[in-house]
Amino acid sequence: MAAPLFVGLDVGGTTMKAGVVDDEGQVYAAVNMPTEAHRGQEFGLNRMADTIVNAVVAARIDLDHIAAIGVATPGTMDLRAGVILDPPNLRPWQNVPVRKYIGDRFQKPTAFQNDANAAAMGEFWIGAGRGSHSMVLFTLGTGVGGGIVIGDLILEGEHSHGAELGHMKIEITNPRQCGCGRWGCLEAYASATAVVKRTLEHLEKESLSSLASYVSRPSELTARDIFNAADKGDAVADKIVEETAYYLAVGTTNMLHSIDPDMVVFGGGMTAAGTGFLRRIHNHVKHLAFPVPGEKCELRLAKLGSDAGCTGAAACGRLLHRQQRQN
Ligand SMILES: [Zn+2]
């Protein structure tokens, strides 16, 4: 293990994961525990501390060897205050002072970050974005998340709502409604949930497809089934995948024209579709974007998988540790 060592904790709606991470980004002894948010926030804070302790024990080191801790949680949150506000994925928690609790409990510098921002920092540090100066991450799962890292700075915004990339507007005239309640968001078109929904709508009109039988059992259809069917030449599935690539290319182009990054990385379950899907996105980007960023910005698949959150949280702890040493 390359000293100094850090702990990253990634709190999700169902499970939380902590890992000891060394100065080169190697993860040791990652430990998962159920979040059990319904048991309340006092229980939740204790569970976070226990998960951190368990990771340290599993790595066979002493807590004294940990230089800093990073915690990533889903929103909504006030990043400057270090507080989770009213997170839909962690009901009934409200106004939970995570950073102060963990900092006091362990007496360590403690960083606090949005989970998608942390994942972006993880990919930037030792994943697909390694070596880049600026990177945008789209995470494609049940929703569409995002993170932007420039230099070592996470673009968290003045109100903790920076890089909400899933909610950039891509359709104005005839918009779909998003899970956030607003209209025309990227997430309403390109999340795994949206891909399934769009496919089912299409199958209502066009039944000549290997996916046709899902109309009578819609809850069984997954984005993976659709991408697999497209790979096998199913015309309906191919059209849906191509349109999804187009929507993501619109989102990507908006990022290219906003910040002109070195790299755009796609993570999350839907990227199991692989490099063929990435190529489809890139082809559309080349037509939509200005020629120079359209050509020079690299598009890549994320590398860290489910470790991105806890590695990224640890990366945030590491940055805090470095800043404090410089001051
Ligand atoms: Zn939205």
* pTM for the model: 0.94
> In sequence order, which residues have a C-beta less than 8 Å from that of residue 68 and are 6 or more positions away?
4, 6, 108, 109, 110, 111, 317, 318, 320, 321
CA of 188 to the centre of ligand 1 (A): 7
pLDDT band of 290, cuts 50, 70, 90: very high
CA of 138 to the centre of ligand 1 (A): 14
CA of 177 to the centre of ligand 1 (A): 8
CA of 145 to the centre of ligand 1 (A): 10
CA of 13 to the centre of ligand 1 (A): 19
CA of 28 to the centre of ligand 1 (A): 36
The CA distance from 15 to 312, in Å, is 17
Query: What number is the average pLDDT over the span 295-316?
Result: 95
Q: Is residue 273 predicted with pLDDT exceeding 90?
A: no
The CA distance from 110 to 91, in Å, is 24
The CA distance from 324 to 305, in Å, is 30
Q: Is residue 269 predicted with pLDDT exceeding 90?
A: no
CA of 143 to the centre of ligand 1 (A): 9
Q: Is residue 2 predicted with pLDDT exceeding 90?
A: no
> 76 preceded by cis ω (within 30°)?
yes
CA of 296 to the centre of ligand 1 (A): 29
Q: Where are the domains of the chain?
A: 5-123+306-326, 132-302
Beta bridge partners of 284: none
Architecture of the domain made up of 5-123+306-326: 2-Layer Sandwich (3.30)
CA of 116 to the centre of ligand 1 (A): 15
Token pair of 216 as six digits: 């009578």
CA of 321 to the centre of ligand 1 (A): 35
Q: What are the residue ranges of helices labelled H in the chain?
A: 41-58, 98-106, 115-126, 187-190, 192-205, 223-231, 235-259, 275-288, 291-296, 308-326
CA of 76 to the centre of ligand 1 (A): 14
What's the per-residue H, E or C state across 180-214? Answer: CCCECECHHHHCHHHHHHHHHHHHHHCCCCCCHHH
User: C-alpha distances in angstroms, 70 versus 94, 102, 147?
Assistant: 20, 9, 16
Please check whether the domain covering 132-302 is classified as CATH 3.30.420.40: yes
Taking alpha carbons only, the member of 130, 55, 47 closest to residue 303 is 130
CA of 125 to the centre of ligand 1 (A): 28
32-55 per-position pLDDT tens digit? 999 999 999 999 999 999 999 999
CA of 212 to the centre of ligand 1 (A): 29
User: C-alpha distances in angstroms, 109 versus 16, 117, 198, 318?
Assistant: 20, 19, 46, 9
pLDDT of residue 134: 98
107-140 per-position pLDDT tens digit? 999 999 999 999 999 999 999 999 999 999 999 9
CA of 166 to the centre of ligand 1 (A): 6
pLDDT band of 75, cuts 50, 70, 90: confident
Cα 302-131-167 angle, rounded to 5 deg:
45
User: C-alpha distances in angstroms, 220 versus 43, 200, 212?
Assistant: 34, 11, 12
Beta bridge partners of 136: 148, 264
The CA distance from 289 to 282, in Å, is 10
The CA distance from 35 to 15, in Å, is 5
Strand order in the sheet with 27-34: 27-34, 15-21, 5-11, 66-73, 110-114
Q: How far is CA 88 from the centre of its chain?
A: 16
Per CATH, 5-123+306-326 and 132-302 having the same topology is answered yes
CA of 211 to the centre of ligand 1 (A): 28
78-109 per-position pLDDT tens digit? 999 999 999 988 999 999 999 999 999 999 99
CA of 193 to the centre of ligand 1 (A): 13
